[in-house]
Amino acid sequence: MKPTPIQDSDLDFDYGTFDSAGFTASTLASWTSLAAVIDHTWLKPIATRQQVERLCAEAIRYRFACVLVNPVWTSIAVGALAGTGIPTGAVIGSPLGGSLVSTLRQEATALIRLGARELDMVLPIGQLKSGNHAAVQHTIRAVVNVAHHHGALLKVTLETALLTMEEKLRASEIAIQAGADFIKTSTGSAAGGAIPSDVALMRGVAGARCGIKASGGIRTLAQLRTLLEAGANRIGCSASVAILRELGAE
- Helix ranges (DSSP H) in 63-195: 74-81, 101-114, 125-129, 133-149, 165-177
Q: Is 120 a catalytic residue?
A: yes
| Active-site residue flag, 2 | no
**Residue 36, Cα to own-chain centre: how many angstroms?**
14
Please say whether the beta carbons of 154 and 121 come within 8 A.
yes
Q: Which of 155, 181, 198, 213 is catalytic?
A: 213
Q: Considering 39, 120, 181, 198, which one is annotated as catalytic?
A: 120
Catalytic one among 39, 155, 168, 184? Answer: 184
Residue 95, preceding bond cis, omega within 30 degrees? yes
CB 245 within 8 A of CB 232: no
Q: What is the residue-wise DSSP string for 20-77? A: HHHHHHHHTTSHHHHHTTEEEE---TT--HHHHHHHHHHHHHHT-SEEEE-GGGHHHH
Does the annotation count 213 as an active-site position? Answer: yes
* Residue type at 44 in one-letter notation: K
Residues with a catalytic annotation lie at 120, 184, 213
